[in-house]
C-alpha cells in the first residue's frame, strides 16, 4: 500500500477522531490513540514530503461538488511546509495536552481530543487543497470544528468570547471570501491553483486590488487589522488550543490562504505589475506596528501573545505582498519559525498556569528560579520572536529583509526594524523580571515545575526553535521550488 | 401498460389511498397504507425524472382525451424535479409520523390525519404534474383544504385560529388564481398551459392580460408566502403538529414556487407583457425585504418553531430572488434551493418534533442543555442550522453559490453582498440555538428527558445527512436544476 497519499493525510485524523470518541471512557487508551494518530499522520505527511522534494506534485480528485468544480487535493511546496508543521507539532502538542488537561482537571476531555483531531483533518485539507473551493470547504470546517474548543469551558464569559470568534470568522469568510472565489471563478473559469496564477489577462486595473482585498480580509484567520479581534477573544480556550491552533494551525491557515492565493491565483509576477495591489504592504505594516503597540500595554500573558501573533502573522502577509522571490521564501519560512517560537511561548504560559495558576505578567517576578525549564523555553521563544540569532526567527526575518531590499521597499524595511524594537520592548522585560527580579509571591503559594509531560513538550519545541537556525536547508530548498518556476 | 401510465398513477395512487383510509379507520392499517402509497409515489416520480432527463418532455393525455379537449399531464425537467422533491419528502416523513402523531393527536383521529396527509400529497403532486390551468386550481384546492385540516390537528387551541387564518388567506389566493385562469381562458379559449402560452404570445398587451398576470402572481404569492403576503405562515407552522409543519414547510410552499415559475416563464414568457413591466425588479425588492425582515424577526422569537417559520419566509426570499434575476445561474440557484431548503427545514422541523415528543413544543429557554439529554437531536439541529447559514459542505452553500454567481454575472455587486449579508443574520438565530443547547445546564423540563426513539431519529437524520451529502456532491441536484432552469429560460422571448 502506498502511504504517500494526500487522502490518507485527511483520513487518518478523521478516523482518529472517531476512535477517540469511542475510547472516551478510558482516558489512557484515548490519549494513546491520539498520539498514535498524530504519529501516523506525520509518517504519511513525511512520505509525501519526499515526493515533493523530488519535484513531484501528488494530486488526487476526490469527487465533483458542482458541475465543473471538484474537491481535489494537490501537494505543492507551500502546503507541504504547512502540513509538516501542523502534523509535526500535533505530536508535541498532544504530549503537552495530556499534561495540561490532566493537570488542570479540565472537563469534557474526550470532546476536546475529538475536535482537536477533526481540526487537524481540516488543517490538512487546507494545506493540500488543490483549488479554491476545496480550500474554502476546509477553511470553514476548521472554523466550525474549533468553535467547541474555544468555548470549551462553557461558562457565560467563555461563550461570549467564542461568539466573537465564530462571528468574525464566519462574517469575513461568508461576506468576503465566498464572493472573492465566485468572482475568480466567473472571470477565470476555474478555481484551480496553477503555478503563475490564473488571473493574468482576465482581470485588470483597480478590480485586482479590490479582489485582493476580498481575499486578504476574507481570510479572517490571518487576523490582518481590522479583522483581528477574534484572536484575543480565542484566548479563553485551554492553552493547548491556543498553542497549536491559535499559534499554528488556524492562524497559519489564514496567512497560508493569502500566500497561496497570491502565488497560485493572482501569480506573483502578474500582481507585481498591478499598482492597485500595492496597498497590502501598508495595511500589513500598519497591523504589525499597531498590534505590537497594543501588545506593549497588555498585562495578561495570553493576550500579549495573541497580539504578538497578530503582528507576526502580518509579517507573513507583508513579506508575500512585497512580491519578490526572496520575500516569498521569507513568508513561507516565517510560517515555520513563528510556529516553533510561538508554540513554545504558549506552552510556557500554560506550564506557568498549570503549576501556579498565574496568568498576569506582573506575577512572574523571580519565577525563573522555580521553573527553570519553562522559563528557559520562554526565553528562547521570546528571542525568536525578536529575531535574535541563533533562533528560528532570525532566519525568516533575514529573508524578508533581503526581499525588501530586492524590491527597494523602505516601508517594509522600516516596519521590520521598528517592530523588532517593539518586540524587544514587550518581551525582554518579562524575561528580565523572571530571571533577575526578587520572588515576591507569598510563601503559602509555593510551586515548582509543571508536570513532566508539559516539560517534555516545551523542551522539544524550544530545541526545534534553535535547531531551525542551523538546519533550515530542507525548508529553504522546498520553498525555492515555489519561486523557482517564476524566474 | 403501467409504465406508460405513470404520470396518471403519480397522482392517482395517493388520491385513491386517501378515501380507503377512511374506510379502514384503524390507525396502524392506515399508516401502513400511507406508507405504501407515499413510497410508490416516490418511486414513480424518480422513474419519471430519469425518463425526462433521458428522453425529454413527457406528454400524457388523461383518459385518452387529447390535449385541447382533455386534460394533459406534462412532465418536463422542471416539474419532474419538484415531483421527486415532494414525494420523497412525503415518503421519508411517513415512518417518522407514527410516533409523533401518537403523542400529538388523539388516536381516534389518526386515520383522518392520514386521509388528509394523502389528499394533501395527491393535491401537491397534481398541481405539479398537470398541464391544464383549471386542473391546477382544482388540485391546489385539494391540497389547500387538506392543509387546513393538517394544521388544525395541532393540540394547541391556537392551531384552530392559525388554520382559520390560513383558510381565509388561502382562499383569497385561490380565488385570485381562478380569476386569473378565467381571464386567460376568456382571451385564448383554451385551458391547456402550452396552448395558452402559444396564443398569448401573439396577442397585444392589453388590460385583461395584465390583470390575469396580476391576479395569478398575487394569488400564487399568497400561497408561497412571499413577503409581505406571508402573514399566515408563522402561526400555521408554529401551531400545527410537528409532522404537518415538516411536511408543509418542505413541500407546500415549494409547489407554489413551482407554479410561479411555470406561469411567469412557460405561460407568460413569450408574451410581451413583461416588456414595460418592472416584474423582475418588484420580485427582487420583495425578496430582499423577505431575506432581511423575516430573518430579523426570527432573531427575536422565543418559540423555536416560530423562529424557524420566519426563517422559512426568509429562505423563500432566496428562491424568489433567483426568479427575479432570471438568468441561468440565478434560476438554477432558485430551483436547487427548492430542494436544499426542503431538506434543511424538513430536518429542523422533524428534530423539533423529537424535542416536542419529550417536553412539548419548546420555547428557546426550554431547549437549554438539549445536547446533554438528546445529543443526536441537538447535533442534527446544528448541521441543519449550518445549512441555513450556507456554510460550505452543506446544501445551503450550493444555493448561495449559484445565487451569488447569478448576481455577479449581471454585475449586481450590491445584490451579491445582500445575499451574503442576510446569511449572517441566519448565523445569529442559529447560534442562539447552538449556545443554548450546548452551553447551558439542562432545563427542568429536559432534566429527565432522553433521546427520541429511532423511528423518529432515523427519518430526521436522513434529512440531516442529505443536507451534507447534497452539499458535498451537488452535481446531481444542481445539474437537474440547471436543466430545469434552461428549460424555463428557453420559453422566454
Contact criterion met (CB below 8 Å) for B40 and B87: no
Contact A166 B409 (CB under 8 A): no
Q: What is the Cα–Cα distance from A309 to A327, expressed in whole angstroms?
A: 19
pLDDT at B203 exceeding the cut of 90: no
Tell me what pLDDT residue A444 has: 61
A317 bridge partner residues: none
Q: Which residues of A touch B401 (CB under 8 A)?
A: 66, 178, 182
Residues 6+ apart with CB under 8 A from A348: A374, A375, A377, A378, A381, A458
Q: What is the Cα–Cα distance from B34 to A323, expressed in whole angstroms?
A: 66
- pLDDT one-digit tens code per residue, B73-125: 999 888 899 999 999 999 999 999 888 888 888 888 888 999 999 999 999 99
Contact criterion met (CB below 8 Å) for B318 and B334: yes
Contact B473 A183 (CB under 8 A): no
Picking from A141, A166, A183, the nearest residue to B408 by CB comes out as A183
Contact criterion met (CB below 8 Å) for A223 and A250: no
Q: Which residues of A touch B409 (CB under 8 A)?
A: 186
Q: Which structural domain, as residue segments, surrounds residue A450?
A: 278-487
Contact criterion met (CB below 8 Å) for A121 and A17: yes
Chosen for mutation from A61, A63, A66 (greatest number of chain B CBs closer than 10 Å) is: A66
Contact B409 A151 (CB under 8 A): no
Other CB atoms within a 10 A radius of the CB of residue B6 amount to 18
Tell me what pLDDT residue B1 has: 64
Contact criterion met (CB below 8 Å) for A313 and A223: yes
Judged on CB neighbours under 10 Å (0-12, 13-18, 19+), B277 is: middle
Residue A469 placed within a domain: yes
Nearest residue in chain B measured CA to CA from A182: B405
From the list A156, A154, A147, the residue with the least C-alpha distance to A122 is A147
- Domain range annotation of chain B: 1-276, 278-493
Q: What is the Cα–Cα distance from A137 to B397, expressed in whole angstroms?
A: 10
Residue A227 placed within a domain: no
Q: What is the Cα–Cα distance from A411 to A72, expressed in whole angstroms?
A: 38
Helices B395-409, B328-359: crossing angle, 10 deg rounding: 150
Query: Which string of DSSP letters, residue by residue, matches A413-431?
Result: HHHHHHHHHHHHHHHHHHH
Other CB atoms within a 10 A radius of the CB of residue B195 amount to 18
Residues of A with CB under 8 A from a CB of B: 63-67, 71, 133, 136-137, 139-141, 144, 148, 151, 154, 159, 163, 166-167, 170-171, 174-175, 178-179, 182-183, 185-186
Contact B478 A66 (CB under 8 A): yes
Contact B472 A63 (CB under 8 A): yes
pLDDT at A407 exceeding the cut of 60: yes
The residue among A2 and B244 whose pLDDT is bigger is: B244
Helices A178-188, B413-439: crossing angle, 10 deg rounding: 140
Contact A65 B421 (CB under 8 A): no
Rg value, chain A, Cα:
21
Residues 6+ apart with CB under 8 A from A330: A319, A396, A397, A398, A399, A400, A401, A402, A403
Contact criterion met (CB below 8 Å) for A301 and A352: yes
Q: What is the Cα–Cα distance from A360 to A433, expressed in whole angstroms?
A: 13
Contact A182 B408 (CB under 8 A): yes
Q: Which residues of B touch A139 (CB under 8 A)?
A: 392
Residue A223 placed within a domain: no
- pLDDT one-digit tens code per residue, B324-375: 988 899 999 999 999 999 999 999 999 999 999 888 888 888 888 888 888 8
Tell me what pLDDT residue A485 has: 47
Q: How far is CA A286 from CA A161, A214, A291, B310, in A?
A: 25, 18, 8, 43
- pLDDT one-digit tens code per residue, B3-51: 888 889 999 999 999 999 889 888 788 899 999 999 999 999 999 999 9
Q: What is the Cα–Cα distance from B405 to B412, expressed in whole angstroms?
A: 10
pLDDT at B493 exceeding the cut of 80: no
Q: Which cell goes with B388?
A: 441555513
- pLDDT one-digit tens code per residue, A351-406: 998 888 888 888 888 888 888 899 999 999 999 999 888 899 999 899 999 989 88
Q: Which cell goes with A22?
A: 469511542
Grouping H, G, I as helix, E, B as strand and the rest as coil, residue B105 is coil
Contact criterion met (CB below 8 Å) for A306 and A235: yes
Contact criterion met (CB below 8 Å) for A219 and A258: yes
Q: What is the Cα–Cα distance from B492 to B483, expressed in whole angstroms?
A: 15
From the list A309, A290, A219, A303, the residue with the least C-alpha distance to A259 is A219
Grouping H, G, I as helix, E, B as strand and the rest as coil, residue A335 is helix
Residue A354 placed within a domain: yes
For A400-418, what is the mean pLDDT? 90
- Say which residue the cell 418536463 belongs to: B76
Tell me what pLDDT residue B56 has: 86
Picking from B391, B427, B474, the nearest residue to A65 by CB comes out as B474
The residue among B445 and A431 whose pLDDT is bigger is: A431
From the list B321, B335, B323, the residue with the least C-alpha distance to B288 is B321
Contact criterion met (CB below 8 Å) for A174 and B390: yes
Indicate the average pLDDT of chain A. 89
- pLDDT one-digit tens code per residue, A220-267: 999 998 899 999 998 888 888 888 888 888 999 999 999 999 999 998
A336 to chain B, closest Cα gap in Å = 28
Contact criterion met (CB below 8 Å) for A15 and A8: no
Tell me what pLDDT residue B490 has: 87
Q: Which cell goes with B195?
A: 396552448
Residue A135 placed within a domain: no
Confidence band (pLDDT; 50, 70, 90) for A486?
A: very low
Residue A169 placed within a domain: no
- CA quadruple B351, B355, B357, B360: dihedral sign: negative
Q: Which residues of B touch A140 (CB under 8 A)?
A: 391-393
pLDDT at A442 exceeding the cut of 80: no
DSSP state of B156: S
Q: Which residues of B touch A134 (CB under 8 A)?
A: none
Contact A170 B417 (CB under 8 A): no
What percent of chain A is modeled with pLDDT above 90?
48
Contact criterion met (CB below 8 Å) for A247 and A192: no
pLDDT at A487 exceeding the cut of 60: no
Q: Which cell goes with B293?
A: 425582515
Q: Which residues of B touch A174 (CB under 8 A)?
A: 389-391, 420, 423-424, 427
Residues 6+ apart with CB under 8 A from A357: none
For A420-429, what is the mean pLDDT? 92
Residues 6+ apart with CB under 8 A from B23: none
A459-463, B197-201, B212-216: least confidently modelled range = B197-201
Range list of H helices, A219-358: 230-233, 239-244, 250-260, 268-272, 279-296, 301-322, 325-356
Q: Which cell goes with B421?
A: 449579508
Tell me what pLDDT residue B363 has: 87
Q: How far is CA B405 from CA A79, B401, B402, in A?
A: 28, 6, 5
Q: What is the Cα–Cα distance from A215 to A217, expressed in whole angstroms?
A: 6
Nearest residue in chain A measured CA to CA from B386: A144
Tell me what pLDDT residue A484 has: 64
Chosen for mutation from A147, A179, A202 (greatest number of chain B CBs closer than 10 Å) is: A179
Q: Which residues of B touch A136 (CB under 8 A)?
A: 392
- How many A-B residue pairs are in contact by the CB < 8 A criterion? 80
What percent of chain B is modeled with pLDDT above 70?
100
Tell me what pLDDT residue B282 has: 92
Q: How far is CA A478 from CA A49, A56, A59, A123, A475, in A?
A: 9, 12, 17, 20, 5
Contact B439 A159 (CB under 8 A): yes
Residue A23 placed within a domain: no
- pLDDT one-digit tens code per residue, A115-136: 999 999 999 999 999 999 999 9
pLDDT at B159 exceeding the cut of 60: yes
- pLDDT one-digit tens code per residue, B135-151: 999 999 999 999 999 99
Element holding B351 (H helix, E strand): helix B328-359
Q: Which residues of A touch B435 (CB under 8 A)?
A: 159, 163
Contact A154 B386 (CB under 8 A): no
The residue among B300 and A204 whose pLDDT is bigger is: B300
- pLDDT one-digit tens code per residue, A56-85: 888 888 888 888 889 999 998 889 999 999
DSSP state of B452: P
Contact A182 B438 (CB under 8 A): no
Range list of H helices, B130-264: 133-152, 158-188, 193-200, 207-224, 232-239, 242-261
Query: Using a CB cutoff of 8 Å and minimum separation of 24, what contacts does B8-12 make?
Result: B8/B60, B8/B62, B8/B73, B9/B40, B9/B44, B10/B41, B10/B44, B10/B45, B10/B48, B10/B83, B10/B87, B10/B125, B10/B129, B11/B122, B11/B125, B11/B126, B11/B129, B11/B139, B12/B122
Tell me what pLDDT residue A1 has: 58
DSSP state of B394: S
For B248-259, what is the mean pLDDT? 93
Tell me what pLDDT residue A443 has: 61
Amino acid at each position: 500500500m502506498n502511504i504517500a497519499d494526500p487522502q490518507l493525510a485527511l483520513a487518518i485524523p478523521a478516523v482518529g477522531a472517531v476512535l477517540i470518541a469511542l475510547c472516551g471512557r478510558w482516558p489512557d487508551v484515548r490519549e494513546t490513540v491520539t498520539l498514535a494518530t498524530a504519529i501516523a499522520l506525520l509518517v504519511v505527511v513525511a512520505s509525501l514530503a519526499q515526493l515533493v522534494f523530488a519535484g513531484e506534485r501528488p494530486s488526487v480528485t476526490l469527487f465533483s461538488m458542482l458541475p465543473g468544480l471538484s474537491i481535489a487535493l494537490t501537494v505543492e511546496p507551500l502546503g507541504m511546509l504547512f502540513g509538516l508543521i501542523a502534523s509535526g507539532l500535533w505530536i508535541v502538542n498532544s504530549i503537552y495536552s495530556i499534561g495540561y488537561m490532566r493537570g488542570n482537571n479540565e472537563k469534557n476531555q474526550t470532546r476536546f481530543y475529538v475536535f482537536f483531531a477533526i481540526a487537524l483533518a481540516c488543517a490538512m485539507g487546507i494545506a493540500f487543497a488543490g483549488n479554491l473551493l476545496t480550500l474554502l470547504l476546509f477553511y470553514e470546517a476548521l472554523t466550525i470544528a474549533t468553535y467547541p474548543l474555544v468555548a470549551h469551558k462553557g461558562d457565560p464569559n467563555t461563550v461570549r468570547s467564542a461568539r466573537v470568534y465564530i462571528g468574525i470568522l464566519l462574517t469575513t469568510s461568508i461576506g468576503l471570501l465566498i464572493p472573492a472565489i465566485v468572482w475568480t471563478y466567473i472571470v477565470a473559469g476555474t478555481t484551480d491553483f496553477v503555478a503563475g496564477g490564473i488571473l493574468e489577462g482576465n482581470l485588470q486595473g483597480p478590480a485586482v486590488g479590490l479582489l485582493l482585498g476580498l481575499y486578504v480580509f476574507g481570510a479572517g484567520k490571518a487576523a490582518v487589522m481590522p479583522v483581528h479581534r477574534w484572536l484575543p477573544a480565542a484566548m479563553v480556550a485551554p492553552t493547548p488550543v491556543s498553542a497549536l491552533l491559535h499559534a499554528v494551525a488556524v492562524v497559519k491557515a489564514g496567512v497560508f490562504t493569502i500566500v497561496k492565493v497570491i502565488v497560485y491565483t493572482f501569480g506573483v509576477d502578474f500582481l507585481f505589475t498591478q499598482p492597485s495591489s500595492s496597498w497590502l504592504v501598508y495595511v500589513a505594516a500598519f497591523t504589525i506596528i499597531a498590534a505590537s503597540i497594543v501588545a506593549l500595554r497588555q498585562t495578561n500573558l495570553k493576550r500579549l501573545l495573541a497580539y504578538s501573533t497578530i503582528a507576526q502573522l502580518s509579517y507573513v502577509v507583508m513579506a508575500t505582498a512585497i512580491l519578490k522571490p526572496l520575500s516569498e521564501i521569507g513568508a513561507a519560512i516565517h510560517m515555520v519559525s513563528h510556529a516553533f517560537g510561538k508554540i513554545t511561548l504558549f506552552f510556557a504560559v500554560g506550564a506557568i498556569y498549570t503549576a501556579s495558576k498565574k496568568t498576569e505578567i506582573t506575577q512572574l517576578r523571580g519565577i525563573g528560579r522555580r521553573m527553570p525549564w519553562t522559563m528557559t523555553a520562554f526565553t528562547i521563544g521570546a528571542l525568536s520572536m525578536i529575531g535574535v540569532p541563533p533562533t528560528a526567527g532570525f532566519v525568516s526575518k533575514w529573508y524578508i529583509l533581503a526581499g525588501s531590499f530586492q524590491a527597494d521597499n523602505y516601508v517594509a524595511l522600516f516596519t521590520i526594524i521598528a517592530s523588532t524594537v517593539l518586540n524587544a520592548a514587550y518581551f525582554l522585560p518579562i524575561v528580565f523580571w523572571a530571571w533577575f527580579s526578587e520572588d515576591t509571591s507569598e510563601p503559602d503559594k509555593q510551586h515548582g515545575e509543571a508536570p513532566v509531560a508539559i516539560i517534555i513538550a516545551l523542551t522539544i519545541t524550544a530545541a526545534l526553535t534553535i535547531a531551525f537556525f542551523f538546519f533550515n536547508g530542507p525548508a529553504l530548498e522546498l520553498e525555492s521550488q515555489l519561486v523557482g518556476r517564476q524566474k | 401498460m403501467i409504465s406508460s401510465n405513470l404520470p396518471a398513477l403519480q397522482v392517482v395512487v395517493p388520491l385513491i389511498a386517501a378515501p380507503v383510509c377512511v374506510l379502514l379507520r384503524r390507525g396502524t392499517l392506515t399508516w401502513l397504507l400511507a406508507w405504501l402509497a407515499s413510497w410508490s409515489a416516490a418511486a414513480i416520480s424518480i422513474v419519471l425524472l430519469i425518463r425526462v432527463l433521458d428522453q425529454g418532455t413527457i406528454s400524457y393525455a388523461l383518459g385518452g382525451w387529447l390535449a385541447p379537449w382533455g386534460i394533459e399531464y406534462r412532465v418536463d425537467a422542471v416539474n419532474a424535479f419538484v415531483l421527486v422533491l415532494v414525494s420523497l419528502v412525503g415518503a421519508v416523513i411517513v415512518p417518522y409520523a407514527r410516533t409523533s402523531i401518537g403523542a400529538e393527536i388523539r388516536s381516534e383521529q389518526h386515520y383522518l390525519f392520514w386521509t388528509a396527509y394523502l389528499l394533501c400529497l395527491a393535491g401537491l403532486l397534481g398541481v405539479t404534474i398537470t398541464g391544464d390551468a383549471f386542473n391546477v386550481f382544482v388540485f391546489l384546492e385539494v391540497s389547500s383544504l387538506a392543509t387546513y385540516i393538517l394544521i388544525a390537528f395541532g393540540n394547541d387551541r391556537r392551531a384552530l385560529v392559525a388554520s382559520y387564518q390560513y383558510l381565509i388567506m388561502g382562499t383569497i389566493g385561490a380565488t385570485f388564481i381562478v380569476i386569473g385562469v378565467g381571464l386567460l381562458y376568456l382571451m385564448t379559449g383554451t385551458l391547456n398551459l402550452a396552448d395558452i402560452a402559444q396564443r398569448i404570445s401573439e396577442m397585444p398587451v392589453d388590460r385583461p392580460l395584465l390583470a390575469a398576470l396580476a391576479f395569478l402572481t398575487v394569488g400564487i404569492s399568497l400561497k408561497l408566502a412571499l413577503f409581505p403576503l406571508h402573514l399566515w405562515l408563522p402561526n400555521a407552522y408554529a401551531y400545527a403538529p410537528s409532522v404537518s409543519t415538516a411536511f408543509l414547510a418542505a413541500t407546500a410552499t415549494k409547489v407554489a414556487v413551482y407554479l410561479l415559475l411555470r406561469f411567469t416563464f412557460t405561460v407568460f414568457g413569450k408574451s410581451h407583457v413583461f416588456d414595460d413591466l418592472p416584474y423582475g425588479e418588484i420580485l427582487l425588492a420583495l425578496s430582499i425585504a423577505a431575506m432581511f425582515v423575516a430573518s430579523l424577526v426570527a432573531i427575536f422569537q422565543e418559540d423555536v418553531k416560530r423562529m424557524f417559520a420566519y426563517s422559512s419566509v426568509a429562505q423563500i426570499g432566496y428562491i424568489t430572488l433567483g426568479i427575479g434575476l432570471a438568468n441561468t445561474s440565478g434560476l438554477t440557484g432558485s430551483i436547487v434551493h427548492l430542494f436544499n431548503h426542503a431538506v434543511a427545514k424538513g430536518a429542523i422541523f422533524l428534530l423539533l418534533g423529537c424535542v416536542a415528543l419529550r417536553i412539548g413544543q419548546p420555547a428557546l429557554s426550554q431547549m437549554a442543555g438539549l445536547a446533554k439529554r438528546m445529543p443526536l437531536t441537538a447535533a442534527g439541529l446544528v448541521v441543519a442550522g449550518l445549512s441555513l447559514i450556507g456554510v460550505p459542505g452543506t446544501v445551503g452553500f450550493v444555493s448561495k453559490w449559484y445565487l451569488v454567481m447569478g448576481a455577479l454575472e449581471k454585475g449586481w455587486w450590491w445584490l451579491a453582498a445582500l445575499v451574503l449579508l442576510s446569511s449572517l443574520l441566519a448565523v445569529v438565530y442559529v447560534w442562539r440555538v447552538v449556545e443554548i443547547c450546548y452551553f447551558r445546564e439542562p432545563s427542568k423540563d429536559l432534566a429527565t428527558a432522553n433521546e427520541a426513539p429511532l423511528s423518529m431519529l432515523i427519518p430526521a437524520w436522513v434529512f440531516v445527512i442529505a443536507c451534507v451529502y447534497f452539499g458535498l456532491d451537488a452535481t446531481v441536484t444542481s445539474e437537474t436544476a440547471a436543466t430545469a432552469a434552461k428549460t424555463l429560460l428557453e420559453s422566454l422571448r
